[in-house]
Amino acid sequence: MSPSTTQAPPRVELVRRATKLVPLLREHAPWAEEHRRLHEETIAALADAGVFRMRVPAHHGGYESDAATLHAVLAELGRGDGSVAWTASVWAIAGWMVGMFPDEVQDEVFATPDVRICGTLTPSASATPTAGGMVINGRWSFISGALHSHWQAAMAIAPAPDGVNMWPVVALIPIEELEIVDDWYTSGLRGSGSVSTVATDVLVPAERVLPLPALLAGRTTSVRNTGLPMYQGPLVGVANACSAGTVVGMARAARENFLNRLGSRKITYTDYAHQGEAAITHLQVAEATMKIDEADFHAERMTRLVDTKGVNGEPWTVLDRVRTRADIGAVCQLGRDAVDVLAMASGGSSILSDVPMQRIVRDMHAVNLHALMVPSTNAELYGRVLCGLDPNTQYL
């Protein structure tokens, strides 16, 4: 399939499609939380809207959407259900990772329409060299979207080329070759179905195994993808830019939910018959809104960096990479702060299970606990580099 065969919809159209999905996502959100997975109608709707094609090369029928477009779409999905947006972002990131592999591997993976690839960056398995490839054994946790995925980008520790040391590798494994462990019992992001997967003596051909450092550096082994703007950035920087939309969308959903309920609420044990007349409410709404705007400002800086450097081919500095970690941390902190303000202003009735606010709070706190998004860890890393020290992580 040549690039000319795929006409990518403009950003405004993809965002319009995502916005149109919001009522459906909200309708299915309670079901997804109860069953700890996304509803099949949600998956079908995302496919129909083209969400699964956004980070796929045009020569494989994808849209090659830039980071800013993906962010805008995910923010709308996050307005509907944080678990949907989060899972879609994971599929987008892992789908981008496939573009680092040789062209024949991409031909195999992208042959499946609306293919979905799950994964994690934690190398919690072992890879043993064998004739023609690697034998993988191990277990991975927090595999969002595994129940609806076709492949997993699985991380493992393998012997390095020097024959002495070990290093992490990424292996693409068909999901049917893995055991799925139904262990996703959590307080937040329940609908993401982030179960564990297990590999037992799974043979992965050599062409479907790449060293993780190559992906972290954004070095593609693909001939056809060389020079494409979408593949000109490092993995973590790209992933950070792909993750912010979920947070911004959930924060907007919290504000929308608060304002929708405002007209029917008073402030109990005060003389305010209408909450919207109270000065404290005005301050709370303004504070939350400003924090949501600030979160989106940080997201815009990340997506602009990814997209600009993708087009002009400029190399990424260490400071560029570290700042995306700081930016996603700031997005999470600001999003959580905004939701907490609105939740505390929503009164005791907001903890009822049929009020979305309580789910948004739990989902937002769950996102803030992701190891690559923890605000304090990312702020420390940024400050460390600003003070002239080397980063103390390879996840840049």
Residues 10 and 146 in one domain: no
Beta carbons within 8 Å of 282's beta carbon, 6+ residues apart: none
Mean per-residue pLDDT, 69-90: 98
Residues 130 and 186 in one domain: yes
Residues 259 and 376 in one domain: yes
Q: How confident is the model at residue 3 (pLDDT cuts 50, 70, 90)?
A: very low
Q: How confident is the model at residue 163 (pLDDT cuts 50, 70, 90)?
A: confident
What is the structure's pLDDT at 96?
96
Q: How many domains does the chain have?
A: 3
In a domain, 226, yes or no: no
Residues 173 and 241 in one domain: no
The answer to whether 33 and 83 are in contact (CB under 8 A) is: yes
Given 109, 130, 145, which residue is the final one in a domain? Answer: 109
Residues 204 and 237 in one domain: no
Given 72, 91, 109, which residue is the final one in a domain? Answer: 109
In a domain, 253, yes or no: yes
In a domain, 74, yes or no: yes
In a domain, 221, yes or no: no
Residues 102 and 189 in one domain: no
Round to whole Å and give the CA distance between 159 and 166.
4
In a domain, 57, yes or no: yes
Phi, psi of 127 (to 5 degrees): -125, 120
In a domain, 198, yes or no: yes
pLDDT tens-digit readout, 221-260: 999 999 899 999 999 999 999 999 999 999 999 999 999 9
In a domain, 144, yes or no: yes
Tell me the CATH number at 260.
Answer: 1.20.140.10
What is the structure's pLDDT at 382?
98
Global pTM reads 0.96
Task: Compute the 3-state secondary structure of the chain and give helix, strand, coil in percent, each to the nearest 5.
Answer: 55, 15, 30
Residues 31 and 127 in one domain: no
Tell me the CATH number at 53.
Answer: 1.10.540.10
Residues 91 and 125 in one domain: no
Residues 258 and 367 in one domain: yes
**2 pLDDT exceeds 90?**
no
Q: Which two tokens stand for residue 291?
A: 């924090």
pLDDT tens-digit readout, 329-382: 999 999 999 999 999 999 999 999 999 999 999 999 999 999 999 999 999 999
Residues 165 and 196 in one domain: yes
- For 364, the domain range is 232-386
In a domain, 391, yes or no: no
Residues 198 and 331 in one domain: no
DSSP string covering 235-297: HHHHHHHHHHHHHHHHHHHHHHHHHHHHTT---TTSS-SSGGG-HHHHHHHHHHHHHHHHHHH
Tell me the CATH number at 141.
Answer: 2.40.110.10
Given 109, 143, 172, which residue is the final one in a domain? Answer: 109
Residues 104 and 172 in one domain: no
